[in-house]
Structure 1
Amino acid sequence: MSLTVAEMLVRTLDEIGAHQVFGIVGDALNPFTDAIRRQDRVRWIGVRHEEGAALAAAGQAKLTGRLGVCCGTTGPGANHLVAGLYEARKDHAPVLAISGGVPSAKRGIDHLQEDDPVALFRDVGVYSELIASPEQAATVIHQAIAQAYGERGVAHISIPPDVFGAKVSGAVPSIATLRPRPELAPAAEDIAAMAGMIAEAQKVAVLCGFGCHGAAAELTALSDRLQAPLVHTYRGKDILPYDDPRWIGGVGLIGGRPGVDALENADLMLMLGTDYPYSEFLPRKTQVVQVDERAFALGRRTPVALGIVGSVRPALRMLLDTLPQRTDSSFLDEVNADRAEWDEMLDAKAALDRSPDKLHPQAVARAISDSAADDAIWVTDTGEVTLWAANWLRQTGRQQITGSNNNAAVGTGMGIANGTQALDPARQVILHAGDGGFTMLLGEFMTAVEHRLPVKVVVYDNSGWGLVHLEMEGAGVPPAPGAAFPNLDFAAFARACGARGFKAAKPADLPGAIAAWLAEPGPAILHALVDPDEIPAMPHIDPKQAVRFGISKIKQAIGALAGRDSA
């Protein structure tokens, strides 16, 4: 039986378990969207901006490791996908991006909306190809999906409408090969060398990254065997419960002092499944062993004495077979004492009774964390909101955390949350967004409303670009024009979209607003008017940086006085 290229592509997506396609319809995609309409296995989820489609697909791929799919029509429709696809590129997640093209006979003559999509997607993708003939389609579709999985990145195919609608015989070959990469066992001699270095170290600390997912049992066994603290990156935060005594906390601004100091004071750091980019928070004198599936990632963030190519779980299983039990817990006890002091500070910052008239963002993040479902999925947009959500979240170990990580793009949260929620509408998905980031792709809230995706959005409204403001103060300069801006009423916006909206402006408003917001069966927004002058907790404040903060505040005060004098 012959199929069109569009029908073959839909059938292939169904066979590999990619049952949702995010995009915006357009004439170049008509054969594809019609092929989806005529079956009931693969679902089209229409969005309000193609970047939202790419973000939704990337969000699914990052959370599950399985192929996400997005689609844009000719020219601008495909171009809009690119910004969102950097989420998949930077976080190494498999996504198939499909773009429509101008009719084959019109290429090369500056036709309406014509561009070069193959070249456009080359930086964001591991593969980019134009399907120029029906006979080429089956093998190119296979190659695209194979490279998306094999290289954990974006694969792009552009298909003109005449090719999309053309008949072909046969099917995409070797479907069984189109699946996520399996775990990679390291070389036995590398594990032996690692065990030897551990034997010579008195104090061992472990930095756990995203690559440690699935290895929670092995990590806790390693900690118990070595009496070693487990420190995590932000992408690894959800692997173990917040209150696990081995799980000390994070590093950097999305983390705290105990984690940073534990790594610095260890004789040996095991850097597992992470390519942590902020080298200034990594130890300067500690010896390092790094384990990662990607050989090219070894040693590029900090000097490494031993680099091991392999997946974390098989590496730890092999290692645990060789390690004797240690009984001296003094280093772990010392780190936990530091952690207790840090946690007391976090609790004090998040206390609802800290101020009767100011709603502190830490209180918002902590109250939502403590009210959320035991298996909730947390999506965090980028900016100052990331610091509130990450540092005051007390995860259960069953919850999952995602967002814009290595791309660190503002405005990505709503699209990622929509894709995440579409995976399981019955599971609670909570998006923490800043006011600036949420308004960037405001229309994607209507995607949630239209498709009954019950995403719960909390908007932290400090009327400005909070992290930019903080960076300016850290540099000793007053905030520049544009750092602050007026806002809409986000609760009223939710109601205008046909959803529910709630508002909290003072601590007394917060418990009731959160309870009503989380109880909503559909999408809802909580508009939290937070104190714009709040400063995040930092692991260690450089004295020079503290001086610059002071200089900035003095300049702001002088500017305010000058303004009053001239009024």
Structure 2
Amino acid sequence: MPNVAELLVDTLAHVGVRHVFGIVGDALNPFTHAIEQDGRVQWIGVRHEEGAALAAAGQAKLTGQLAVCCGTTGPGGNHLVAGLYEARKDHAPVLAITGGVPGAHRGTDYLQEDSPDLLFRDVAAYTQTVAAAEQAPAVFHQAIAEAYGSRGVAHLNIPPDVFAASAPGVVPSLATLRPLPEVAPAEADVATAAALIAEAKSVAIFCGAGCRGAAEELRQLAQRLQAPLLHTYRGKEIMAYDEPYWIGGVGLIGGTAGTDAVQQAELLVMLGTDYPYVDFLPKHGNVIQVDERALAIGRRAPVTLGVVGSVRPTIRALLERLPQRTDTAFLDRAQQRRAAWDRMLDERADPARSGDKIHPQAVARAVSDRAATDAVLVTDTGEVTLWAANWLRQTGRQRITGSFNNAAVGTGMGIANGAQLLDRQRQVILHVGDGGLTMLLGEFMTAVEHELPVKVVVYDNSGWGLVHLEMEGAGLPAAKGTGFPNLDFAAFARACGAQGFTARDAATLDATVAEFLAVPGPAILHALVDPAEVPAMPHVDAKQALRFGIAKVRELIGR
């Protein structure tokens, strides 16, 4: 008869889990031993438990399948929590397993004892301590079902004595533990939506991550309505950058074409997006929002019609009702603005304008243009997000991921490791700032240890660039804490047993990027970029420009 640890490993293998990320510890000994003996699931040791949670979240975001992370009693489990918010905020199914205090010592302020169910209550849709082996089969099923059903985190705390106890039976109903299916919209809602679209003189279509897998349907809808397709950052990957209807992003991670189209369209159709930056959404209420989650509809912008349903079946139903439009005036204006914006991006990315400095736009464009056509592109949070996102020319076959809704700095390396383990042959590139990489620097050693060929591009501006920018935008001089000294990241990579490259000269940037991406195994490109460079913004008004100017004067006076 298997013990509880063996039952859990067998269950994870049956539902398709391939890796468990974590750090070993005495409370987990029965579980890690069961993994080793079983052989179907691979234990991936990391250097910090937050890195384990990030790797699991990275896998779950990309696949929609359950991913698993692990930490031992007390601090080991506690360290998982920050990384688990990636799964919670980006709606990805992750199971977190923590070791518990032996039953005989619970409630006595034992070594490393805490209250894990209280700790995990905010980040997890389900949290449970397995206090007896008899609970295990039903609780294992419930935890995985909750992770899939809520598209979020489930947590199990299991003491070592329970792990080692004999399991009373098998986990029931394994066939039910799978991702949620698509949701068909109500016919009445489709009919109302079609009528509203028919009445509108101009329509813009705003596409989020919920549109993944519906690229062909989006093309057909845009062609039928002669409407521009705008996208969130999470939706950017859905189509290639040069698709004629794929006009661009909205807001700071976007451009003027997309931002203006959202505001100027008589009717906005929001598909699979819960876009949080409300200042860039219209206030007029002429909005149709389609989402699988009823709770997300209408909470960002006022809407005329909310349609509960998945994007693909909803578009297919609409196409049966919508006639072909011939007026292309609104689309033409959006395409013209997009062409002007693209010319500006090209000019700023030209290494020739850099002189003796490397501009971050040139780094982002050089990496983008030399990346594999099916690469996984991971971006950390901060000013680096603006460079990597706005100067990326995606192919439509690449995947783009990062800390989208949690927007946490330092998450990229862990996410990249998880992504690379899904397919060791697929190129994974991480764009990260100097501050972000040093937050969990040890996770680069995770890549080295497990021979994960992640390519890490470090944008070194010697500071917290986005915080600096935000302070200047408020008219304040940058605080001393926004800058810091750095290590030599290329030398660090070599010290870890990987390869390191340094980019200092704009004239040799492209050749350095090419060599960096071509080497086998993990590698770091240390790009020393101009810290004074300001990201492109869709609209900067006179007041904002004045505040930037005042801040610069104050900084000069301070020096």
TM range (shorter): over 0.9
- Equivalent pair of 1:269/1:287 in contact (CA under 8 Å): yes
Partner of residue 551, structure 2: 552
1:495 aligned partner, one-letter code: R
Work out the CA distance in 1 between the residues paired with 2:514 and 2:301.
45
Partner of residue 563, structure 1: none
1:248 aligned partner, one-letter code: I
Work out the CA distance in 2 between the residues paired with 1:512 and 1:28.
50
2:234 equivalent to 1:248 = no
- Equivalent pair of 2:230/2:249 in contact (CA under 8 Å): yes
Partner of residue 99, structure 2: 100
SS in 1 for 2:502: strand
2:539 equivalent to 1:543 = no
Partner of residue 260, structure 2: 261
Partner of residue 301, structure 1: 300
Partner of residue 501, structure 1: 500
- Equivalent pair of 1:134/1:163 in contact (CA under 8 Å): yes
Work out the CA distance in 2 between the residues paired with 1:129 and 1:557.
56
Partner of residue 120, structure 1: 119
- Equivalent pair of 2:133/2:168 in contact (CA under 8 Å): no
Listed as ranges, the matches of 1:250-329 within 5 Å are 250-285=249-284, 287-329=286-328
Encode CA deviations 1:269-317: one digit per residue, 9 max, x unaligned: 0000000000001123361000001101110001000001110001001
The alpha-carbon deviation at position 544 of structure 1 amounts to 1.3
Partner of residue 35, structure 1: 34
Q: Which moved more, 1:504-513 or 1:360-369?
A: 504-513
Work out the CA distance in 2 between the residues paired with 1:356 and 1:166.
68
Partner of residue 402, structure 1: 401
Partner of residue 232, structure 1: 231
Work out the CA distance in 2 between the residues paired with 1:309 and 1:523.
44
Work out the CA distance in 1 between the residues paired with 2:488 and 2:558.
29
The alpha-carbon deviation at position 218 of structure 1 amounts to 0.5
Listed as ranges, the matches of 1:11-26 within 5 Å are 11-26=10-25
2:325 equivalent to 1:334 = no
SS in 1 for 2:79: helix
- Equivalent pair of 1:359/1:505 in contact (CA under 8 Å): yes
- Equivalent pair of 1:267/1:286 in contact (CA under 8 Å): no
SS in 2 for 1:482: helix
- Equivalent pair of 2:269/2:287 in contact (CA under 8 Å): yes
The alpha-carbon deviation at position 552 of structure 1 amounts to 0.3
2:428 aligned partner, one-letter code: V
1:260 aligned partner, one-letter code: T
Q: Which moved more, 1:56-65 or 1:508-517?
A: 508-517
- After superposition, the Cα gap between the structure-2 partners of 1:372 and 1:335, relative to the gap in structure 1 and judged at 3 Å, is same
SS in 1 for 2:96: strand
2:100 aligned partner, one-letter code: G
Encode CA deviations 1:508-563: one digit per residue, 9 max, x unaligned: 13112111111111000000000000000001012211111010011112222xxx
- Equivalent pair of 2:349/2:359 in contact (CA under 8 Å): yes
The alpha-carbon deviation at position 328 of structure 1 amounts to 1.1
- Equivalent pair of 2:137/2:170 in contact (CA under 8 Å): yes
Partner of residue 514, structure 1: 513
- Equivalent pair of 1:376/1:427 in contact (CA under 8 Å): yes
2:230 aligned partner, one-letter code: V
Partner of residue 466, structure 1: 465
The alpha-carbon deviation at position 169 of structure 1 amounts to 3.3
- Equivalent pair of 1:264/1:286 in contact (CA under 8 Å): no
Partner of residue 133, structure 2: 134
Work out the CA distance in 2 between the residues paired with 1:528 and 1:467.
17
Partner of residue 425, structure 1: 424
Listed as ranges, the matches of 1:183-202 within 5 Å are 183-202=182-201
Partner of residue 564, structure 1: none
The alpha-carbon deviation at position 355 of structure 1 amounts to 2.2
Work out the CA distance in 2 between the residues paired with 1:200 and 1:37.
63
Work out the CA distance in 2 between the residues paired with 1:175 and 1:196.
44
RMSD over aligned Cα atoms: 0.6
Listed as ranges, the matches of 1:159-174 within 5 Å are 159-174=158-173
Work out the CA distance in 2 between the residues paired with 1:263 and 1:511.
36
- Equivalent pair of 1:263/1:286 in contact (CA under 8 Å): no
Partner of residue 220, structure 2: 221
The alpha-carbon deviation at position 481 of structure 1 amounts to 1.6
Partner of residue 434, structure 2: 435
Identity of aligned residues (%): 71
Q: How many residues align?
A: 559
Work out the CA distance in 1 between the residues paired with 2:433 and 2:354.
22
Work out the CA distance in 1 between the residues paired with 2:400 and 2:514.
21
Work out the CA distance in 1 between the residues paired with 2:297 and 2:168.
46
2:391 equivalent to 1:392 = yes
Work out the CA distance in 1 between the residues paired with 2:336 and 2:285.
21
Work out the CA distance in 1 between the residues paired with 2:12 and 2:19.
9
Partner of residue 526, structure 1: 525
SS in 2 for 1:359: coil
- Equivalent pair of 1:59/1:416 in contact (CA under 8 Å): yes
1:252 aligned partner, one-letter code: G
Encode CA deviations 1:145-176: one digit per residue, 9 max, x unaligned: 00000010000000000000001232110000
SS in 1 for 2:482: coil
The alpha-carbon deviation at position 19 of structure 1 amounts to 1.2
2:363 equivalent to 1:369 = no
Runs of 5+ unmatched residues, structure 2: none
The alpha-carbon deviation at position 12 of structure 1 amounts to 0.4
> Normalising by structure 1, what TM-score?
0.98
SS in 2 for 1:514: helix
The alpha-carbon deviation at position 102 of structure 1 amounts to 0.7
Work out the CA distance in 2 between the residues paired with 1:193 and 1:284.
21
1:281 aligned partner, one-letter code: F
- Equivalent pair of 1:263/1:269 in contact (CA under 8 Å): yes
The alpha-carbon deviation at position 264 of structure 1 amounts to 1.1
Partner of residue 565, structure 1: none
Work out the CA distance in 2 between the residues paired with 1:358 and 1:349.
13
- Equivalent pair of 2:59/2:418 in contact (CA under 8 Å): yes
Work out the CA distance in 1 between the residues paired with 2:107 and 2:283.
55
2:515 aligned partner, one-letter code: A
SS in 1 for 2:532: coil
Work out the CA distance in 2 between the residues paired with 1:260 and 1:460.
27
Listed as ranges, the matches of 1:36-115 within 5 Å are 36-115=35-114
Work out the CA distance in 2 between the residues paired with 1:555 and 1:120.
44
2:393 aligned partner, one-letter code: R
- Equivalent pair of 2:274/2:300 in contact (CA under 8 Å): yes
Encode CA deviations 1:432-476: one digit per residue, 9 max, x unaligned: 000000000000000000001100000000000000000010011
> Normalising by structure 2, what TM-score?
0.99
Partner of residue 358, structure 1: 357
